[in-house]
Amino acid sequence: MKHSYVMQCDYVVIFDADFQPEPDFLCQTIPFLINNPEIGLVQGRWKFVNANECLMTRMQQMSLDYHFKVEQEVGSSTYAFFGFNGTAGVWRISALNEAGGWKDRTTVEDMDLAIRASLKGWKFLYLANLQVKSELPSTLKAYRYQQHRWSCGPANLFRKVVMEIFTNKKVSLWTKLHVVYSFFFVRKIVVHINTFVFYCIVLPATVMVPEVVIPKWICVYIPCIVTLLKAVGTP
């Protein structure tokens, strides 16, 4: 973003190394940015090419399908805000610059950027029909690393921006409540910690140590409570 040729560009598209966009990806995204100057980000959906590789990837697919189908679509259609997924998205460069660009103060710099851009008044658009092929972690080690980063990063970011969110005057009160309660507290802290502890610690412990028995209330009540917490903030 610091190269001289960037000054001649209006948009930047971001992909992780394992993502495989279709040839017409830009044709499906750029028109939204051209025709609506308030939109700062157009986000595509992830399509998992290795979802059936093992039980772990199938479970991840179910979780991320919910994330895209409910969380991203609700945020886009109701509040014009959702967390940038870090890849498969097109940013308006002026939105990036106004938000302060990329910062490495947390391990979730993509989410950090989305928060700062939304507080500047930029709106986001999620396109469910725009699917980009990607891969899921297929080993426990890779999955644990991913979940640890996804759990700790948002909590650290929330601590840094919570007061900035409440004191911001460019977004509505409902948007602030959505960001603080639904986006951060429930979806990025409670859910990720629950997922990490349950699937990366509790379940592996029961496999490696047969004497460990999981009480029924853990298997029933905790998932139900988490589901209710998420449902409260989902129109």
Cα–Cα distance between 119 and 144 in angstroms, integer? 31
pLDDT exceeds cutoff 70 at 235? no
Q: Give the angle 107-57-152 at the CA atoms, nearest 5°.
A: 20
In this prediction, residue 222 has a pLDDT band, given cuts at 50, 70 and 90, of confident
CA-based nearest residue to 95, from 125, 55, 73: 125
Number of domains in the chain: 1
Residue 14 and residue 89 in contact, taking contact as beta carbons nearer than 8 Å: yes
Cα–Cα distance between 161 and 106 in angstroms, integer? 11
CATH of the domain at 82: 3.90.550
Q: Give the angle 70-174-96 at the CA atoms, nearest 5°.
A: 75
pLDDT at 1: 63
Question: Amino acid letter at 29?
Answer: T
Cα–Cα distance between 160 and 176 in angstroms, integer? 15
Task: Provide the Cα torsion 89, 110, 184, 80; round to 10°.
Answer: -30
pLDDT in tens, 14-70: 999 989 999 999 999 999 999 999 999 999 999 999 999 998 899 889 889 988 987
Cα–Cα distance between 100 and 95 in angstroms, integer? 9
Range of the domain at 140: 4-232
